Amino acid sequence: MDVEILIHGVPNGHDYFGLKEEQNTAGTFYISSQESIKFVVEIKKNGNKPYVYYSYLRYKGVVGAEGRSGSYFGLTLRIDEYYTDILHIYNILDIAFKRYVLGSLLTLSSETYKYITPDFKSKKEEIEQLQQGLIQLIKSTCLASKFLKIDNSFINPISNAPICNIVDITDGIILSTLKKHSKVVLSPDYKSNLEKEYEKKMQDVENRGNSLVAERDKKILERETTISSLDSTIKAKDSKIAVLEQEIKQKNQELSQHKQKGDIAQLIEKVKDPIFKLSEYFRVKEDIHKPKTNYYGKKNFIIGIINGVLTVLVLTSILLFHFVQFPTIGKPSKKNDELMKLKTELVNLKQQIKEKDAIIVDLRKTSEQDQSQKIN
């Protein structure tokens, strides 16, 4: 088994330690990245021989020896066989970083990794110790049964490399992905499948909530429009009622005058004939029993009595009209019919307003409840 360890990074400008023929490979990792850790697995040929490259990369929080930001540190393990337990390779590279890199090549202060040296050549001894220690970890912890020979089925043009969280990887998934894309990028900073599922459910809930709120707002708007329409209708009814009430008042006044004139006329007609007959009676009786010489004096006396009686009857009829309500005689007049019709229409309008008021009260209560629920 052919194993090589490559060290690369930006202590003070990009630097590399390892096989010269792999320097270009190391240069591909000098990029800007927001992840704290990346674990890139890639299968490609160097010359005519295929290799698997396991690269453990630190980006976020890494600065150069002079404090320059945008630096990184890379530790790449090149093997001519594929080890199927990808997570195990990641773990031994993480151990090697913490055991051999920290304190010799990088120092940790708070959450910042700073290069101790401006170049790797000055730390040749420490790097060789790192290489020997990592090889020893592979020999002591990796199982020979999990190494797989690399054939042409692994070699494909590298397309957009799939990304995945470390916690979601399985041996079968990574192997099938490598055979299809020849490269996969893993990181604990990527969203896990569980997080993606949770976010999807939360988005579904939010979308449903937004839909319900929009539907409720639409109903509230419709109710407010209905209330506004009812208010306009009621105002129109109120105006009509005011007009009708004024007409009724005028009709009542006309009716009162009509009844007063009609009753007095009827009374006069009723008493006119008896008074006339009584006058004739006295006149006739006088003509028979009294001489004509005294006729005019007694006649004037009788006429005075009759006029007095007539005056009393007229005054009595007027007083009765003001203090006693006479029953309607005969069929109602045309004006009475109009009055009754107006009164009936007024009663119906008042009943409609009462019903509309009840509807508006109910709608406003429902609208206030919906608005309260929206705020909550």
Distances (CA, A) of 171 to 73, 83, 86, 177, 264: 26, 9, 7, 10, 119
DSSP 139-167: HHH--GGGEEE--GGG-----SPPEEEGG
Task: Please check the confidence at residue 328 and state whether its pLDDT lies above 50.
Answer: no
Do the Cβ atoms of 184 and 168 come closer than 8 Å? no
Which of 185, 187, 180 lies closest to 158 in space, CA to CA? 180
Do the Cβ atoms of 25 and 76 come closer than 8 Å? yes
| Tens-digit pLDDT profile for residues 267-309 | 556 555 655 554 555 454 445 445 544 544 554 555 555 555 5
Task: Please check the confidence at residue 199 and state whether its pLDDT lies above 70.
Answer: no
Which of 92, 124, 125, 126 lies closest to 107 in space, CA to CA? 126
Which of 190, 335, 181 lies closest to 259 in space, CA to CA? 335
Which of 39, 42, 62 lies closest to 50 in space, CA to CA? 42
Q: What is the mean pLDDT of the chain?
A: 78
Report d(CA 248, CA 246) in Å as an integer.
5
More confident residue, 294 or 243: 243
Report d(CA 308, CA 231) in Å as an integer.
64
| Tens-digit pLDDT profile for residues 213-240 | 777 888 888 888 888 887 888 888 788 7
| Tens-digit pLDDT profile for residues 141-198 | 999 999 999 887 777 766 678 888 988 877 778 888 888 888 999 999 887 766 666 5
For residues 46-69, average pLDDT: 92
> How big is the chain, counted in residues?
376
Task: Please check the confidence at residue 360 and state whether its pLDDT lies above 50.
Answer: yes
More confident residue, 317 or 366: 366
